[in-house]
Amino acid sequence: MWRFVEEFSKAFGKRIDAIDKDSLTALEQYSWPGNIRELRNVVERAMITASGHRLAIPLPPASAAATRRSPKLVDVEKEHIRAVLESTGWRIRGPGGTADRLGMKPTTLETRMAKLGLKRPGH
């Protein structure tokens, strides 16, 4: 990162002596879906707007693609079951009920719902 700071320092004629500690911590914890090019762009943007000798680097907003990139299977399952429950009016049993639509026994669905923390709204 300092390499980019030095590069843009020369290009923009700005002297940076330090990087904000909170910025560094946040940057280290960010997943960087755009890899090194994204980091370079973030540093460049921060350098353009910098007004002092201490650089604060705001994180880029998380893109929808980045947040959807790799959901956990359990989260996908929970959202799918919730969507089917909502489409059936939270009816679990009987023809056209959620268990029927998902191809499982109602007792299996109820066990799965409890494990996933799915509860009918208002109950």
Segment 7-51, tens digit of pLDDT: 999 988 999 999 988 888 888 888 777 778 888 988 998 998 888
> HEC profile for the chain?
CHHHHHHHHHHHCCCCCEECHHHHHHHHHCCCCCHHHHHHHHHHHHHHHCCCCEECCCCCCCCHHHHHCCCCHHHHHHHHHHHHHHHCCCCCCCCCCHHHHHCCCHHHHHHHHHHHCCCCCCC
Q: What pLDDT, on the 0 to 100 scale, is given for residue 23?
A: 86
Q: What pLDDT, on the 0 to 100 scale, is given for residue 29?
A: 84
Q: What pLDDT, on the 0 to 100 scale, is given for residue 123?
A: 66
Q: What pLDDT, on the 0 to 100 scale, is given for residue 106?
A: 96
* Residue range(s) occupied by CATH 1.10.8.60 in the chain: 2-63
How is domain 71-116 classified at the CATH fold level?
A: Arc Repressor Mutant, subunit A (1.10.10)
pLDDT tens, position by position, 65-122? 455 566 788 888 999 999 999 999 999 999 999 999 999 999 999 999 999 999 988 8
> Which CATH entry fits the domain spanning 2-63: 3.10.105.10, 1.10.3720.10, 1.10.357.10, 1.10.8.60?
1.10.8.60
User: pTM surpassing 0.75?
Assistant: no
Give the C-alpha separation, 90 to 32, whole Å.
Answer: 39
CB 42 within 8 A of CB 59: yes
* Residue range(s) occupied by CATH 1.10.10 in the chain: 71-116
